[in-house]
Amino acid sequence: MKKRLIVGGFLSLFSGVAVVGAARLLHLDAMTDPVEISAFFALVVVMCSLWGLCASAVLLKTATLLDRIVAGGLFALVVVTGLAVAGQYAGATLFAKLEKLPDSAIGIWTLRDYWHAFGDMKGVKRSLQIATAVSIIVPVLPIAVVVAALVMKPKRELHGDARFAYSHEIRRYGLLDEANGRTRRKGDYRDPSIIVGRYKGKYLTFRGTEFVMVAARTRSRKGVAIVLPNLLTFSDSVACLDVKGENFDLTSRYRQACGQNVFRWAPFDQKGYTHRWNPLFKIAKSPAFVRVGRLQAIAARLYHTADARNKFFYEQAADLFMGLALYLMEMTGDCTFGQVLRLATTPDKKVREHLTELMQQEPQPGVPLSGDCLGALSRVLASPDETMLNIVATFNAGLRLFSNPIVDQATSACDFELDRVRRELTSIYLVLPVREIAVASLLGNLFYTQLIEDNLDVLPGEDPTIKYQCLAIGDEFTALGRIEVLDKGNAFIAGYWIRLLTILQSKAQLEPNELYGPAGARTLITNHAVLVAYAPGNQADAKELSETLGTFTEKATSRSRNHGRNTSTGTNTSDQGRALMLDQELKRMEQHEEIVLGFQRPILCEKATYYEDDLFIDRMRSVSPMLAAIDKRLPTEDEIKAAWQAGELRATGIPTNNPETYHAVLSAKAAGEIRFARQAGAKPLTAAELLVLDRQKPGVLATDMALTGFAADLAELGLVMRDDVREMLAGIRIDFNLAAADAAADSQIEPAAPADNEVKEVAHG
């Protein structure tokens, strides 16, 4: 209110001075009656004050309908009055020229006075009529033109009127509000904006909660012109799919310096430079009646097939997953994918026996496992033994990713929670290397699914702790596969302040049936309010974009000439339609150009490349001493790369785990269990297996291990080996080594690794 009063007072004073100045020009200061003078100034003060208050509300964008009506009405009154005065002066000037009067006779009341004094004189009357007509035409003609423009329907072009937006239209769209210092506030919350491009040196920023999609072929600068600029400017939380790890390396230190909690989840980082995130952690901490549905959703992503013949095995594998996960949650209160995988089998028991023993466990004395857990495991146990082996194989295939110790460790605990992104300023970088993207899509899918699902519990207006939007930046979005919650709920998740910045190479990437299908892709694209298009890379995309831009009508002139006895020429002009940009023109767009769609008119603008502007470089300078030392110019790409490689732009405090130690512990434990099971008595060989072994010649490794084991067994029993026996065993070992060396020399290859039958022979020896 205070700001409105200040602006209103300034506008009132300015308009008052303007009115009084105009009155002096009109010689209204010649009034001598005190009543007339008082009434005039009172009217000026009231009208100017009222107009100032209403106009200030319009300028500050807080105006009500009444404010707009009053401000517009008073402004229109002033304009009409000015036109009327101008008409009187124009008529008086013309009358003075016709009657050859001095300039001193020209005034606002000249025509009125001469009509009263000389209106009956025939010679003067004609001049007065002409001048009066001019005084009426001058104000009426502009008003008539404006009214006609408002009332008359615009001409519809035959082939359309497509064109790119003008500057004033872009301002009206609100894309230049931040560049021009105008911001909109809703209470104490200011909508953060997404940078979509640059127009005449100013950044185009898209406010609100709606989505933005970027369609650009590979190596078209979408990373440096869309992803990095927004990571350096978006004021609220972000969750970024970082395929190369560059986004974290270049922007995380600045976001951390702005007070954000920065996390790096890199489940394939061989050095263990990553936070940990367990997709099952939130489910384990949720009420029992919530767990089943969440686990079923995850199982559906792990075990799905389009082949109806194998559907049974996938459904049973999903039951096994749910049963084992519920078992861990109820017995230990925690659960990871690696634990579920390791729990499925044990080396000393058959699967049926193992699962039966698990079902007999009790979380607390006298308290059995839940019916959900027992029911899921019972459905698996209802299958015959041969079928159960196929079920376990299908189960293991779905979780094979988590047999990787690096992934297992990165998902072994939770260092951050996704439901905090709307309550705390948070930046999460999901780093999935390109070489692992095929197998890592499951993790990325789980991450974005849970990011959305965990924040659909309550609307921002219902919870005062929800203060921030979360921008989900999906670079190479289709690499994540089909995100079910996004496919079904993209129409309403924006209301929960989860915002999407979707980046893909072509809209056609969304259309395969294993992703979103043609209908789902169309819906998803439609719910992205803004589309940023770079130069298309193929003909189909170029043609589609050309059709989207539309056509305009242009005049085409054709000339003809008749060569006969009498030569004649003719000219014909016709309306023809032309695409705003042809497909070949779109493919030839400059590297720095882009097109922004989603408004009344498309916008042809430039890319907002971060290393070409001080706005972004200054933010990087604030956290990098190497870049801060370059203050007279923009740093080169090599200088930015040097600061990046020095780690100056990378957030601090990222933990470094030790995958090697983690793997060694798990491997030793598994090996110990297997050895113990062998010592306790493994499954005896069948007659067929013994017959096969009898027909095979033992290999060098198998013989050596058998002889060593024989000597160790004698020593363990306390029996002394005679010298002749020891010499005999040594001779056997030498003979086998010589035979192997001769065979290798004959084939000119190195001795091969032991065959499976040799290892099997040793295991049963």
Q: What is the pLDDT of residues 108-140, one digit of tens each?
A: 778 888 888 887 787 788 888 888 888 888 888
Positive/negative CA dihedral, 181, 185, 188, 190: negative
Is 307 inside any structural domain? no
Ranges 168-182, 320-334, 655-669, most confident: 320-334
Nearest-angstrom CA–CA distance, 578 and 576: 7
Q: What percent of the chain has pLDDT over 90?
A: 41
pLDDT surpassing 80 at residue 731: no
Give the domain-ending residue among 134, 151, 168. 151
The answer as to whether 346 is a domain residue is: no
- Give the residue from 128, 151, 174 where a domain finishes: 151
Measured between alpha carbons, how far is 736 from 705 in angstroms, rounded to an integer? Answer: 12
Residues near 201 by beta carbon (within 8 Å), at least 6 away in sequence: none
376 in Cβ contact with 320 (< 8 Å): yes
Spatial neighbors of 288 by CB under 8 A, at least 6 apart, are 370, 372
764 pLDDT tier (thresholds 50, 70, 90):
very low
Residue range 522-556, pLDDT digits in tens:
999 999 999 999 999 889 999 999 999 988 887 76
Hey, what are 356's tokens? Answer: 């039966």
**Separation CA 481–CA 426 (nearest Å):** 25
- pLDDT digits over 66-89, tens only? 777 877 777 777 777 777 877 887
Whether residue 755 is predicted with pLDDT greater than 50 in this model: the reply is no
Structure tokens that stand for 626 in this block? 């190497």
Task: Output the average pLDDT for the chain.
Answer: 81
Residues in CB range of 179: below 8 A, 6 or more apart = 202, 203, 204, 205
Q: Mean pLDDT across the stretch 89-111?
A: 80
Instruction: Give the amino acid at 461.
Output: G
Q: Which of 335-349, 672-686, 747-761 shows the lowest per-residue confidence on average (mean pLDDT)?
A: 747-761
- Average pLDDT on 719-724 reads 66
Distance in angstroms (rounded) separating the CA atoms of residues 327 and 373 = 6
Residues 6+ away with beta carbon under 8 Å from 182: 61
| Domain assignment of residue 495, yes or no | no
**Is the pLDDT assigned to residue 613 strictly greater than 80?**
yes
Instruction: Supply the pLDDT for residue 690.
Output: 46
Q: What residue type is 378 in one-letter code?
A: S
Q: Determine the pLDDT at residue 705.
A: 59
Tell me which residue of 16, 38, 141 sits closest to 90, measured CA to CA. Answer: 141
Give the span between the Cα atoms of 12 and 625, in whole angstroms: 51
| pLDDT at site 320 | 95
Per-residue pLDDT tens digits for 169-220: 999 998 998 887 766 554 445 679 999 999 998 999 999 899 999 998 888 8
Does residue 212 belong to any structural domain of this protein? no
Beta-bridge partners for 562 = 568
Contacts of 629 (CB under 8 A, 6+ apart): none
Label residue 660 by pLDDT band (50, 70, 90). confident
In terms of average pLDDT, the best of 117-126, 142-151, 389-398 is 389-398
Length of the chain: 765
pLDDT one-digit tens code per residue, 41-66: 676 677 777 666 666 666 666 667 77
Q: Is 746 within the bounds of a domain?
A: yes
pLDDT, mean of residues 446-472: 92
pLDDT for the residue 488:
84
**What does the pLDDT read at residue 564?**
60
- Average pLDDT in the 501-518 region? 90
In the chain, the amino acid numbered 247 is N
Whether residue 432 contacts residue 242, with contact meaning beta carbons closer than 8 Å, is answered with yes
pLDDT at 139: 82
CA distance 641 to 305: 45
516 within 8 A of 510, measured Cβ to Cβ: yes
User: Which distant-in-sequence residues (6+ apart) come within 8 Å of 579 by Cβ?
Assistant: 162, 546, 547, 549, 550, 551
- Is residue 341 in a domain? no
Cβ neighbourhood burial of 407 (10 Å; 0-12, 13-18, 19+): buried
Helix (H) or strand (E) holding 214: strand 211-215
Give 472-503 pLDDT, tens digit per residue.
999 888 888 888 888 888 888 989 999 999 99
Bridge partner list, 194: 206
Last residue of a domain, one of 151, 181, 212: 151
Q: How many domains does the chain have?
A: 2
In the predicted structure, residue 761 carries a pLDDT above the cut 70: no
Pair of tokens at residue 244: 């190369």
pLDDT value for 70: 75
Rounded Cα–Cα distance for residues 215 and 502 (Å): 9
Highest mean pLDDT among 376-380, 509-513, 702-706: 376-380
8-state DSSP, 364:
B
Q: Choose between 659 and 119: higher pLDDT.
A: 659
Confidence (pLDDT) at 549: 92
Per-residue pLDDT band at 446 (split at 50, 70, 90): very high
**Residue ranges making up the domain that contains 74:** 2-151
Among 273, 411, 284, CA closest to 338: 411
Asked, for residue 757, whether it belongs to a domain, the answer is yes
Integer Cα distance of 762 and 709 in angstroms: 9
Is 561 among the domain residues?
no
Q: What is the pTM of this model?
A: 0.72
pLDDT band at 427 (very low <50, low <70, confident <90, very high): very high
Using the predicted structure, report yes or no on whether residue 720 has a pLDDT greater than 70: no
pLDDT at 31: 53
pLDDT at 58: 64
Residue 462 has pLDDT above 80, yes or no: yes
Residues 405 and 397: their CA atoms lie apart, in Å, by: 16
% of residues, the chain, pLDDT over 70: 76
